[in-house]
Chain A
Amino acid sequence: MAEADAQSFWSRYLFSTDHKIIGLQYLFTGMFMGLVGAFLAYVFRMQLAFPGAHVPLYGVVTPLQYNALVTNHGAIMIFWVAMPILIAGLGNYLIPLMLGCDDMVFPRLNRLSYQIFFLSAVLILVSLFVPGGGFGGAWTAYPPLSASAQYNHTPWGAPLWLIAVALEFVAFLLGGINFITTVMNARAPGMGPLQIPIFVWMVVIASVVFMASVGPLVAGAIMLLFDQLLGTHFYDPKAGGDPLLWQHLFWFFGHPEVYVVLLPALGIVAEVITVFARKKLFAYKTILYTSFATGIISFFVWAHHQFVAGIDPRMAHLFTITTLIISIPIAEMTFAFIATLYGGSIELRTPMLWALAFIAEFLIGGVTGIFLGANATDIYLHDSYFVVAHFHYTFFPIAVIAGFAAITFWFPKMFGRHMNETLGKIHFWGTIIPFNFVFIPLFVLGAAGEHRRIYSYEHFSQLFTPGLQNLRVLATVALVVMLLFQFVFLYNFVRSWIAGEKAEPNPWRANTLEWAAPSPPPHGNFAEMPTVYRGPYEYSVPGRPLDYWPQHLPS
């Protein structure tokens, strides 16, 4: 594209309306924020393992700082890492390519959504350094603690944090509208609903779920902001307000949010597994319908976060049942993936390793969710480290493992070069093994009664036994090892981008349309809009000389 080359550096890479550039911007922002969030985690893990010690690269952690670290680790990892990488980054990059069109239907809206997102990322980082320090009311921001500076001592940090989160929501609402409209309207000729790759479907369902669930929280955030800045009493019981209102509004968004990031991750795993097993994706329609079911049921489980907040026990039973029901569609998808692997000729390349690890690790996360979804056991385990370990066993596979699967899988498409396989495998094992050593001890600690959000356990003799403290040290050491291995990935990423082995347009011999475009795709993606003739997963079709059958090739 001659006119694309004629643009200046600024308009080409920073103010581009090209969905691929915007997708990469989201991806890199998410990776950078991931390093920030990981650093925060390292600091407070060191504090838990060695209370009061001088943390290398940081200094001594004070209680208020500890709260700010935990809060912003949670918020950054969910809103500024998982969502931009899985939904906005990969969604932006892949959706138009997988649909066979040249861009999103609203390119400028797309650019605007990234700019708002960037602003929100800057704000959340700024909020850590304002007078009074960063917000320390946990990422769920429960009032009254979050509602007034007289309780949280962060007159600047709390409103800035809230505004940053709200801006992030606006960015993703705009992006979500763009995704949904693109998938509805800009599909290549011949691509019916059942020829759309699973990943695209998952991003669309996630966008719809996000859009439908975030509204009440936006309303709640406006109320909370009024409480913080104007001194109103929406959440203040002494003036007729109700702190539980926030918990309902928040979790009405917060629990669907889990599935918002889970579904694209499952979509990535589906794409990767079917390619590397050289086998048709098992039960495409069933996966689709169960993801619809997941999206719908996710709206009826939010109160399982309030089992100890004084909700009616009959209500708690109802939400226990819905919470256990939602594991069924997810389990079904997992079984579909395993059935896809069954009898396939599996190639254990790096993306495949990540995808398999996703299934294994997410299984642990899901099974421990049963303990917490049942209200009887939750009353004991609530707000213990068991919860922390459980949702890290879900979120880590979602954001990190599926994220690495996607990056290693689509890297040849994004940059036209291969990543180094050996370094990739070193990084894989160096991440997976320490990861389990970080969080399995936390299950033990949580079951032993260790509460979340405690700055130092020295004052709790029953929690400061040598056995438990050794587990904390083990988790911290494993975390440091895991973080060091991430530099292998960064080195591999940068080096492969500059001097990796040149990749073909379709190095994995895959079917979906993005592999029909050149690598990296030019402005406009395809020379002409492809026509779709079949579903995306026709691998190893009997009677064909090749074991794959791209969607755009006529029979």
Chain B
Amino acid sequence: MTRAAEFHVPLATRRSATGIPTGRLALWWVLASEIVIFGGLLASYVMFRLHHPHWAEEASHTNVWAGGFNTFVLLTSSLFAVLGHQAAEHGDGTRAARFLKLTVLGGLVFLGVKTVEWSGEISHGFTIYRDLFWTFYYTATGLHGLHVIAGMIVLWLVARDAGRGKNLHRVELIGIYWHFVDAVWIFLFPLFYIAR
């Protein structure tokens, strides 16, 4: 299937009329489209929340400590992504790969904590059907979790390439994406866990 022609790279892929690298430009547009997806979901949630005072009582059953720890984990993993980008800037692929793998580890810890958290909540009867608050809670955090998983997969692939010294510019791109995932969590945490 793959032939020499597959690797005929069009000139367009290398042009940069704006001066911004094409990959970074596209990534910001991807993030823009992601922002409106989460924005739609969270705006709906906030509108409902304003009309349902009893949600505060429901929200008090969320595990603030687990959420807080997860916030800390994600922020730390973002730091590793930044350090990886710094290493890639200096052309040190192996070091960048190491930091990216640490970032993936942060994502794994995040998901592990979330698994414990969810299973505890479900076993205490706070299922997705209990109340609309919980429906929103599982939908929003689940969608965010999917983004974490997708980010981890891409991080791993980029780390593998970077370890071989290939495509070092992608380290920065996946870093930007990871910061976005982080930023979404920064919104989710107060909205679902802390707000009373």
Do B11 and A107 touch across chains, with their CB atoms under 8 A apart?
Answer: no
Q: Give the tally of cross-chain contacts (CB within 8 A).
A: 143
Contacts of B48 in A (CB 8 A): 240, 242, 245
B5 and A11: CB pair below 8 A? Answer: yes
> When the two chains form their complex, are residues B12 and A104 in contact, meaning their CB atoms are under 8 A apart?
yes
Interface residue B157 (Cβ < 8 Å from any Cβ of A): no
Check B17 against A245 for contact (C-beta < 8 Å): no
Minimum CB–CB distance from A264 to chain B (whole Å) comes to 18
Complex CA distance for A181 and B48, rounded to whole angstroms:
37
Stretch of A1-9, A62-70, A352-360 on the interface side: A1-9
Q: Does the CB pair B5–A101 fall under 8 Å? A: no
The answer, yes or no, to whether A330 is at the interface (CB within 8 Å) is no
Q: A223-B139, A230-B128 are in contact. Are A101 and B12 (CB under 8 A)?
A: yes
Total number of A residues with any Cβ neighbor in B under 8 Å: 55
Note all chain A residues with C-beta closer than 8 A to B1. Answer: 11, 15
Cβ of A363 under 8 Å from chain B? no
Contact A107 B25 (CB under 8 A): no
Bitwise, B35-66 to A at CB < 8 A (1) or not (0) is 11111110110011000100000000000000
Report Cα–Cα, A218/B35, bound state, in Å: 11
For residue B18, which residues in chain A have a CB less than 8 angstroms away from its CB? 184-185
Cβ contacts under 8 Å, B34 to chain A: 215
Nearest B residue to A191 via CB reads B17
A3 neighbours in B (Cβ, 8 Å) = 3-5, 8
Residue from the list B8, B13, B33, B128 in contact with A232, Cβ < 8 A = B128
Question: B93-101, B129-137, B169-177, B187-195: which lies at the A interface?
Answer: B129-137
Whether B115 is near chain A, meaning CB under 8 Å from some CB there, is no
Q: Which residue of B lies closest to A223 (CB)?
A: B139
**Contact present for B6 and A11 (CB under 8 Å):** yes
Alpha-carbon separation in the docked complex, A28 to B11 (Å): 27
Interface string of A177-219 (1 = CB under 8 A from B): 1101110111100010000000000000000000111111111
Q: Which of A6, A102, A104, A186 contacts B3 (CB 8 A)?
A: A6
CB proximity of A91 to chain B, nearest CB, Å: 15
**Among the interface residues B20, B33, B38, which one has the most CB atoms of the partner chain A within 10 A?**
B33
B166 at the interface (CB under 8 A from A): no
Q: Are A240 and B40 in contact (CB under 8 A)?
A: no
Specify the chain B residue showing the minimal Cβ separation from A179. B29
Question: Quick one: closest B residue to A104, CB to CB?
Answer: B12
Cβ contacts under 8 Å, A17 to chain B = 6
- CB atoms of B139 and A181 under 8 A apart: no
Q: Kindly state the separation between the CA atoms of A224 and B25 in the bound complex, as whole angstroms.
A: 32
Asked if B125 lies at the interface with its beta carbon under 8 angstroms from chain A, I say: no
Q: Does B123 contact A (CB under 8 A)?
A: no
Q: How far is the CB of B47 from chain A (nearest CB, A)?
A: 7
Any A CB within 8 A of the CB of B122: no
Q: Is A105 an interface residue (CB 8 A)?
A: yes
Query: Nearest A residue to B42 by beta-carbon distance?
Result: A219
A436 to chain B, nearest CB (A): 39
* Cβ-defined contact, B40 with A249, below 8 A: yes
Contact of A186 among B12, B39, B52, B139 (CB under 8 A): B12
Q: Do B12 and A226 touch (CB < 8 A)?
A: no
Tell me the nearest residue of chain B to A231, going by C-beta. Answer: B129
Q: In the complex, what residues of B have CB within 8 A of residue A212's CB?
A: 32-33, 36
A185: which of B4, B25, B135 is its contact (CB, 8 Å)?
A: B25
- Given the known interface contacts A11-B6, A185-B20, the answer about A177 and B139 at a Cβ–Cβ threshold of 8 Å is no
Do A105 and B36 touch (CB < 8 A)? no
Cβ of B22 within 8 Å of any chain A Cβ, yes or no, is yes
Residue of A3, A219, A226 most packed against chain B (CB within 10 A) = A219
Chain A residues, CB < 8 A from B20: 184-185
Which of B18, B29, B47, B132 has the most chain A CB within a 10 Å cutoff? B29
Contact check, A181 vs B22: say whether CB atoms are below 8 A apart: yes
Q: Known contacts A220-B40, A529-B11; is A185 also within 8 Å of B3 by CB?
A: no
Identify the closest chain A residue to B32 (Cβ). Answer: A211
The answer to whether residues A6 and B5 also contact, given A96-B12, A105-B26, A249-B44 and a CB cut-off of 8 A, is yes
Interface residues of A in 79-121 (CB under 8 A from B): 96, 101-107
Cβ of A241 within 8 Å of any chain B Cβ, yes or no, is yes
Q: Are A106 and B29 in contact (CB under 8 A)?
A: no
The answer to whether B37 and A184 touch across the interface, beta carbons within 8 angstroms, is: no
A130 at interface by CB-CB < 8 Å: no
Closest to A184 in B: B18
In residues 1-52 of chain A, which contact B (Cβ within 8 Å)?
A: 3-4, 6-7, 11, 15, 17
> CB distance A180 to B12 under 8 Å?
no
Q: CA–CA, A182 to B11, complex, Å?
A: 12
In the complex the two chains form, what is the Cα distance from A249 to B43 in whole Å? 10
> Could you tell me if A106 and B13 are in contact, using CB atoms closer than 8 angstroms?
yes
Q: Is the CB of A214 within 8 A of B33?
A: yes
CA distance A384 to B30 in the complex (A): 39
Contact flags A150-181 to B (C-beta < 8 A → 1, else 0)? 00000000000000000000000100111011
Tell yes or no: B143 within 8 A of A by CB: yes
For residue A174, give the distance in angstroms from its CB to the closest CB of chain B.
9
Q: Tell me how far the C-beta of A6 lies from the nearest C-beta in chain B, rounded to whole angstroms.
A: 7
- Judge whether A539 is part of the interface by a CB distance below 8 angstroms: no
- Judging by beta carbons under 8 Å apart, are A181 and B3 in contact? no
Instruction: Report which of A177, A191, A245 forms a contact with B29, defined as CB distance below 8 A.
Output: A177
Contacts of B26 in A (CB 8 A): 105-106, 177-178, 181
* B22:A105 contact, CB within 8 angstroms: yes
Partner of A211, one of B3, B12, B33: B33
Q: What is the CB-to-nearest-CB distance from B172 to chain A, in angstroms, rounded to a whole number?
A: 16
Which B-chain residue is minimally distant from A211 (CB atoms)?
B33
Contact assessment for B40 and A181 in the assembled complex, using a CB-CB cutoff below 8 Å = no
Residues on the B chain within 8 Å of A217, using CB: 40
Q: In the complex, which of the residues A182, A215, A232 contacts B40, with contact meaning CB atoms closer than 8 Å? A: A215
Q: Which B residues are CB-close (under 8 A) to A226?
A: 135, 139
Q: Shortest 7 CB-CB distances between A and B: which pairs?
A: A215-B36, A216-B40, A103-B10, A219-B40, A219-B41, A186-B12, A101-B12
User: Can you list 22 A-B contacts with CB-CB less than 8 angstroms, sorted by A residue number?
Assistant: A6-B3, A102-B10, A102-B12, A105-B12, A106-B13, A107-B10, A176-B29, A181-B25, A181-B26, A184-B18, A184-B20, A185-B15, A185-B22, A215-B39, A216-B43, A217-B40, A219-B37, A222-B41, A233-B135, A240-B48, A240-B131, A240-B132
Given A106-B22, A252-B40, 6 more A-B residue pairs with CB atoms under 8 Å apart are A6-B3, A6-B4, A7-B5, A11-B3, A185-B15, A186-B15
B residues with CB within 8 A of A = 1, 3-6, 8, 10-13, 15-18, 20, 22, 25-26, 29-30, 32-41, 43-44, 47-48, 52, 128-129, 131-132, 135, 139, 143
